[in-house]
Chain A
């Protein structure tokens, strides 16, 4: 059961009032991203891992690479699987249990950006055509949730993948000690999320700002091209707003790429 919090209602009203003067609750400019921090190699048991912090939002992503059988329709291709969990310990409003629709959307949006940007060379992950391939699992968990989990999750997944090492397949065994070879990847994808509140556009929303949103748009960008889009929320954007968001996303993507290094 979810209770409507009076404090949220009051805060949302405050957010809307401040926006009329072009201000945000945390003092940021409308088009200002929070501080972004990327740490890699945080879990040595994983083939790749990263913790990404955006303001007070923090997520951890890890990559495990294991043996599998290819899908019948793609016998000469490895498999990428992306999962996300909005953990009950990352916020007092998230609940335990099977993944919520929001968590599934989060995983799918991150997956789409990575897949469409062709970050992983799935063709190079084949051991025996039609029989044996490498399966790359990227799992993302929220550690402290304060909005814009899309961009944090995408960044963490990207950082974990681009630092991931390949296990070795030898005599029917998977060896994971002292791995040297990188997972074959091509370039980097990042995402930028904007929300619309009363006709104003805000980048990198906090959780309470997300509660006030009319509409949300997440833009995945690789090499200055748009590779994925996800619109959310019950409201809409005008044509001009969409264009403004794309311009903003292109601008912010450069900074996010720098954070990835």
Chain B
């Protein structure tokens, strides 16, 4: 969308017809990359992300080796044609930053002390971007790690929320933002928790909100998170179900 729309919500409906607390359709598939030790594709609406896990395996370069635990290394990148204007192939500053926060969020749940000196590589690739890609990627990574049988305290699960405006310019908190809301809304917040111990493991925001708005959005996001978590568990269990 090239020009700023007059509103992102009107009559209680967002541009894609959702209400404020609604999330997009979530689809989760495991084992999508046969060569990987674990993998998953997660779709939040039109945002499609694949995560592949290799490891634990030998770590190169050697100077990164830790004698008492494994390194969780994440690489987030987008396919050049996953966005409106072609993205130059290869990670830039944005991708490196997302890789870092993704690795840190995942490190909070992986029992790294089980694999001294090793690396667990997590590759997160955006196939199609319609906002919330880092969170969709983090969810995919979390499932891929579990799919790879990596011992973890629990799953990391994330949801985005943001602030969008109506035709009079009044702001509202909304869950699971998509492209126009990410681009034109007043705030965009990536939020993830280590679900079992209920700790915030990723939180990034740009925009402008009051504390009350932030807490309201977070509360709404918690409901979406609960649903997402259940879907993630279902997808993981589904792999072992017999007809």
Contact = CB atoms under 8 A, between A and B. Distances in A.
10 contacts: A43-B79, A45-B46, A62-B79, A66-B86, A83-B89, A87-B125, A88-B123, A89-B50, A92-B36, A141-B79
A88 B89 contact: no
Contacts of B123: 87-89
Given A83-B89, A88-B121, A44 B128 contact: yes
A66 B85 contact: yes
A139 B81 CA distance: 8
Interface string B65-100: 000000000010001111111100110000000000
Contact of A144 (B2, B35, B54, B128): B35
Contacts of A165: none
Nearest to B90: A98
Closest 10 CB pairs of A and B: A62-B81, A89-B123, A46-B81, A64-B86, A89-B52, A139-B80, A64-B81, A43-B128, A45-B128, A91-B35
B200 interface: no
Contacts, number: 84
A237 interface: no
A96 interface: yes
Interface of A: 1, 3, 42-47, 49, 56, 60, 62-64, 66, 83, 85, 87-92, 96, 98, 137, 139, 141, 143-146, 173, 176
Contacts of A1: 60
B75 A43 contact: no
Nearest to B60: A1
Given A64-B86, A137-B86, A45 B129 contact: yes
A92 B54 contact: yes
A60 B34 CA distance: 15
Contacts of B46: 44-45
B110 interface: no
A72 B86 CA distance: 23
B81 A144 contact: no
Given A139-B89, A173-B2, A83 B125 contact: no
B83 to A, nearest CB: 6
Contact of A145 (B35, B82, B86): B35
B79 A143 contact: no
Chain A facing B: main interface SS: loop
A51 B141 CA distance: 22
B234 interface: no
A43 B121 CA distance: 26
Contacts of A45: 46, 81-84, 128-130
B228 to A, nearest CB: 23
B10 interface: no
A31 B121 CA distance: 37
Contacts of A60: 79, 127
A60 B32 CA distance: 13
A144 B125 CA distance: 13
B33 interface: yes
A90 B33 contact: yes
A26 to B, nearest CB: 14
Interface in B15-36: 33-36
Given A83-B89, A90-B33, A144-B35, A139 B125 contact: no
A93 to B, nearest CB: 9
B57 interface: yes
Nearest to A173: B2
Nearest to A177: B1
B75 A63 contact: no
A57 to B, nearest CB: 10
A159 to B, nearest CB: 14
B128 A143 contact: no
Contacts of A3: 58
Contacts of B2: 173
B227 to A, nearest CB: 25
A63 B129 CA distance: 15
A5 to B, nearest CB: 12
B36 A89 contact: yes
A60 B82 CA distance: 11
B80 A62 contact: yes
Nearest to A45: B128
B125 A89 contact: yes
A88 B83 CA distance: 21
Contact of A64 (B57, B80, B130): B80
Contacts of A85: 89
A66 to B, nearest CB: 6
